[in-house]
Amino acid sequence: MKIAQVATSDISVRFLLLDHLLALRDMGHEVIAVCSPGPWVEDVRQQGIRVEAVPMAREVDPLRDPRSLASLVRCFRNNLFDVVHTHTPKAGLLGPLAARLAGVPTIVHTVHGLLFHDAQSRMQQRLYWLPEKVTATMSHHLLCQSREDVETCVNRGICSAGKVSYLGNGIDTQRFQPPGREFKVLAGRELGFAEKDFVIGTVARLVYDKGLAEIFDAAESIRGRFAHAKFVVVGPEDHDQHDAVPSERIQDLANRGIILFSGMQTDLLKWYAAMDIFVLPSHREGVPRACMEAAASGLPVVASDIRGCREVVVDGVTGILTPVRNSAVLAGAIERLMADPSAARSMGEEGRRHIRENFDHRQVLDRLRRFYGEIEARKMQ
301-304 β-sheet, strand order: 259-263, 229-234, 198-203, 277-280, 301-304, 319-322
3-state secondary structure of 50: strand
The reported pLDDT for the residue numbered 336 is: 98
Taking the C-alpha atoms of residue 356 and residue 293, their distance in angstroms, rounded to an integer, is: 10
Counted residue by residue, the chain has a size of 381
Taking the C-alpha atoms of residue 48 and residue 186, their distance in angstroms, rounded to an integer, is: 36
Which residue spans of the chain are classified as CATH 3.40.50.2000?
2-170+361-380, 181-358
Closest CA to 210 of 184, 229, 249, 237: 237
Taking the C-alpha atoms of residue 218 and residue 74, their distance in angstroms, rounded to an integer, is: 49
The reported pLDDT for the residue numbered 119 is: 77
Taking the C-alpha atoms of residue 341 and residue 207, their distance in angstroms, rounded to an integer, is: 30
- C-alpha distance across the termini of the chain, in Å: 14
160 HSE (CA, 13 A, CB side): 3
Q: In one letter, which amino acid is 210? A: K
Taking the C-alpha atoms of residue 198 and residue 216, their distance in angstroms, rounded to an integer, is: 16
CATH number of the 181-358 domain = 3.40.50.2000
Task: Print burial letters for 331-348: b (CB count within 10 Å at least 16), e (below 16).
Answer: bbbbbebbeeeeebbebb
Q: How far, CA to CA in Å, does 84 sit from each of 38, 73, 96, 140?
A: 21, 11, 8, 10
The reported pLDDT for the residue numbered 380 is: 82
| Residue ranges, the chain, pLDDT below 50 | none
2-170+361-380 sits in which CATH class?
alpha beta
3-state secondary structure of 133: helix
The reported pLDDT for the residue numbered 118 is: 78
Phi-psi region of 308 (alpha: psi -120 to 50; beta: other; left: phi over 0): left
Beta-strand pair 301-304/198-203: unpaired
- Predicted structure pTM score: 0.94
